[in-house]
Amino acid sequence: MMRDIHFSYVMLALVCATMGSYGARALFWGRARHERAEKDGGSVFVGKRFMEFGYWLVEPVVAALHRSSVTPDMVTAFCLVPALAAGVAVSQGWFGLACILATFASLGDAVDGLLARRRGSASDAGEAFDAVVDRYVEFFFMGGLIIHYRSSLGLCVMALMALFGAFMVSYSTAKAEALNVPPPRGSMRRAERAIYLLFAAGLTPFAGALAGSDALVILREGPMILATALIAIVANLSVFARLRTIVRVIRLRDARHGGGEAGAATAPPVVPPPIPASPPGLVSVSDESQLIR
């Protein structure tokens, strides 16, 4: 009978194979630089080199889909299927299987935007559709985690706060853009959250095997609990810092242009002051239509 840890072994083999291939490529031909990685610059949570690896990984898929009749919207809609299955797997404690399924959903999230740009079909409608699907994809995984931890009030609240923080990070970005304010970068953006959850899901079966079935849940599922707690804390602190910066910029703009809605509508955007990449006191570790954004 297939055990959940077998899926983690498969995922570990895939990670080792792809990272080994990229390492050889970087050794002989240099890093696979990508314009999106150069523009974004990376963060303390996801470094630029990891972004380059991600773009290098999906580039052959993008090229193959470009030669076919598959559209970016088809790829976006497909992401819902493995994402929903990953949420069901998480709710049943099958973290290794969820890792594989959620990885397909995340790769699809990276591919659709790159495919749209290559085909020259990028549009506001496609971006809106992708943003909505992204919310469902994230909700499926975190919703499954909330169901899984329903018997523990503390862990359930932690998962709820992680979900709330994730949605509020995206909301603060959308609100800033709607108010004509360049959104602050902040921390724990979608790609960063996805990477932490994927690695945690893949490692959790190994932690369970080492701890044993009789161990406390915090030992058996340590990687997932740690990743969820990190997202819950950092994302919500990031939201607070983002909104504080956005409000400060809007007030400054209104003061410069006489205040009122007319002044806000016609005034040019004001570049917000930088906010910390990670909240004070947390250890740093290395939005919405690519895997890395």
Tens of pLDDT, residues 184-227: 777 788 888 998 999 999 999 999 999 988 899 999 999 999 99
Q: How many Å apart are CA 36 and CA 158, to the nearest integer?
A: 33
pLDDT at 110: 83
* Percent of the chain clearing pLDDT 90 (strictly above): 43
Could you tell me what percentage of the chain is helix, strand and coil, using 3-state DSSP and rounding each to the nearest 5?
Answer: 75, 0, 25
Phi-psi region of 9 (alpha: psi -120 to 50; beta: other; left: phi over 0): alpha
Span of 4-18, 58-72, 130-144 with lowest mean pLDDT: 58-72
**Torsion on CA atoms 175, 177, 179, 185, rounded to nearest 10:** 80
Please report the DSSP string for 103-123 in residue order. Answer: HHHHHHHHHHHHHHHHHT---
pLDDT at 287: 41
pLDDT at 40: 63
Q: How many Å apart are CA 156 and CA 48, to the nearest integer?
A: 33
Which two tokens mark 11?
A: 């995922």
Confidence of residue 286 (pLDDT cuts 50, 70, 90): very low
* Whole-prediction pTM: 0.80
Q: What is the pLDDT of residues 238-272, one digit of tens each?
A: 999 888 988 998 899 888 876 544 444 444 555 55
The correct answer on CATH 1.20.120.1760 for the domain covering 4-266 is yes
Reduce the DSSP state of residue 288 to 3 states and report it: coil
pLDDT at 37: 60
Q: Quickly tell me which residue has 């709607």 as its tokens.
A: 178
Higher pLDDT: 29 or 5? It is 5
* Percent of the chain clearing pLDDT 70 (strictly above): 82
pLDDT at 205: 96
Q: Minimal CA–CA distance to 285: which of 24, 43, 28?
A: 43
Most confident of 14-18, 85-89, 191-195, 238-242: 85-89
Q: What is the mean pLDDT of residues 17-24?
A: 88
To the nearest whole number, what is the mean pLDDT of the chain? Answer: 83
Q: What are the extents of the domains in the chain?
A: 4-266
